[in-house]
Every structure is written in structure tokens, then in C-alpha cells.
Amino acid sequence: MQVRFTKMHGLGNDFMVVDLITQRARFTPERVRELSDRNFGIGFDQLLLVETPTDPEMDFKYRIYNADGSEVENCGNGARCFARFVTRKRLTGKQTIAVQTAKGPLYLSLVDDDKVRVDMGEPVLKPERIPFQAEQQAAEYPVEVNGQLYQVGAVSMGNPHGVLRIDSVDSAPVETLGPALESHPSFPERANIGFMEIIDRNNIRLRVFERGAGETLACGTGACAAVVSGQLRGWLDSDVCVQLPGGKVDIHWNGYGSSVIMTGTADTVYEGRVQL
């Protein structure tokens, strides 16, 4: 069986996007791993599936699989690509799209200069809901790795994140500390790990080691989590430009009780068909 797909990226965070409204397909974890391989497959960080919602108030259902075949709850860069995809495929004519995810609704809006604004919802900060192993909520938590303590901010943006402040993203130990923290017992469902360098109160640089994917060129939920954590720790203002290896994304958060708003680009690379 052949399935149509679109290769897209958001700041270099790349995706295989499949419309499962006008066609049918089933992706096993093994097949996802094969397709994600950059030498023998299509190559991507995540597979995004567009499905018919089970909630009548939603326009679409949004499902995400990491390159390792595991299904995850949310992907901010993917959400922007999702909005562009359903619009360009004429699956909707709406300017604001309501999307059902495993962790609740997302609202995606098409804005000027070909950007997409995503209402990412309120960040989750209670440890038991992130989930993170801690007795009480705090702005940061000490986490031990190989006998060394790191101060980590813990935030969920529909998926769990740990955020560290470092002096320079250029010398950050992403390849070693990233996987150690991703699978640390403090994060019982694993986590995306962000390495944040603060330029000033409105600008940061960020590298993210993503759960199930490794380091990517950009991570939308990671950018949101970094800004939330930076605000909670008193380092950042409400409007922050996040510079990732793949480009820039703008994040706005007004603090407790408000949604995180992310605005950025989404680009199509090519169209194709694949045999399942």
C-alpha cells in the first residue's frame, strides 16, 4: 500500500506529515523507526498524523511519533507545520484551527508573513502532573548526575521538559548530559532536556535534547518550557526571542494562569509517496 506524505520543517525540526482523513494507513513503531532513518528511509525527527477528531468541537486530531517509534503528547514546531499542511491541502478554510491532542486542545492561527501562532495552553508546573519526582513545587530542583548536582527547572508543555541554564550553548554537554537527564529517575516518563543561554531578559539561545529523538535543530515545546522556566526563576520577561540552531521563534507568557503563545514559521520541503 502506498501512502502520500509531505516532508516539512519548523526551523530545521523536520517532519513526515501524513493525511489520514482522505487515506488510510497504519504505522507500527518498527516502521516509524525505518522511515525516520536518514540513510535508509525518509529521515525525520517526528511523524505527524492528521486524523478525524473524536471530540466534535475539534477540527482535527493531531498525533505525533518520535523517530524511535514512541508516541508523544505534543510538538510545537510540528503544530505549526500541521496548521500549514491542513490549509495547503484544503482540509480546512479556517484561519484558526482547533486541534485535539493527547494532552488537550491546541489552537493554531495563521498570521501575516507566513507564520503560525500556536496557543500552547498553560504550562503544567505541579511535579506530579509533569511528571517529576519532587515533594513540592519549586522553580528549580537539584538533580544529581554522576555525583554532580544540577539545578533543573521542570515544566510540562503537554510533554515533560527539564531546563538548565548554562554559560554557552556552544560548549554545553548536550551529547552526554542530555541523555543522562532525559532518562533520569526524576523524570519517570523521560523528558526533553533544554540547555539555555541567557543573552538578556528578552533573548536566549537554546539547544534541546529531545526525548526519543536526540538533539534536534529546534524544539517548539522546548522553547516554551525554557521561557516559562526562565521567568519563574526571575531571569526573563514576558516576551522572549528564542534562538535555536535552526532559527528563531517568539514566545510570550504572562505568568501563572495564562497560556504560552508561540509564533514562528513552517515550511514544506517536498511531497512524496511511500510503501507501507
Q: Is 43 annotated as a binding residue?
A: no
> 231 burial class (0-12, 13-18, 19+ CB within 10 angstroms)?
buried
User: 244 with 261: CB under 8 angstroms?
Assistant: no
Q: Is 13 annotated as a binding residue?
A: yes
Catalytic positions: 75, 219
**What backbone torsions phi and psi does residue 33 show, to the nearest 5 degrees?**
-60, -40
Alpha carbons 143 and 188: distance in angstroms, whole number: 13
Q: Is 220 annotated as a binding residue?
A: yes
Q: Is 254 annotated as a binding residue?
A: no
User: 219 with 77: CB under 8 angstroms?
Assistant: yes
Q: Is 26 annotated as a binding residue?
A: no
Q: Is 76 annotated as a binding residue?
A: yes
Q: Is 74 annotated as a binding residue?
A: no
Provide DSSP, the chain.
Answer: -EEEEEEEEETTEEEEEEE-SSS-----HHHHHHHH-TTTS---SEEEEEE--SSTT-SEEEEEEETTS-EES--HHHHHHHHHHHHHTTS---SEEEEEETTEEEEEEE-STTEEEEE--PPB--GGGTT---SS--S-EEEEETTEEEEEEEEESSSEEEEEE-S-GGG--HHHHHHHHHT-TTSTT--EEEEEEEEETTEEEEEEEETTTEEES--HHHHHHHHHHHHHTT---SEEEEEETTEEEEEEE-STTS-EEEEEE-EEEEEEEEE-
Residue 140 identity (one-letter amino acid): E
Binding-site residue positions for substrate: 13, 46, 66, 76-77, 159, 192, 210-211, 220-221
Residues of the binding site: 13, 46, 66, 76-77, 159, 192, 210-211, 220-221
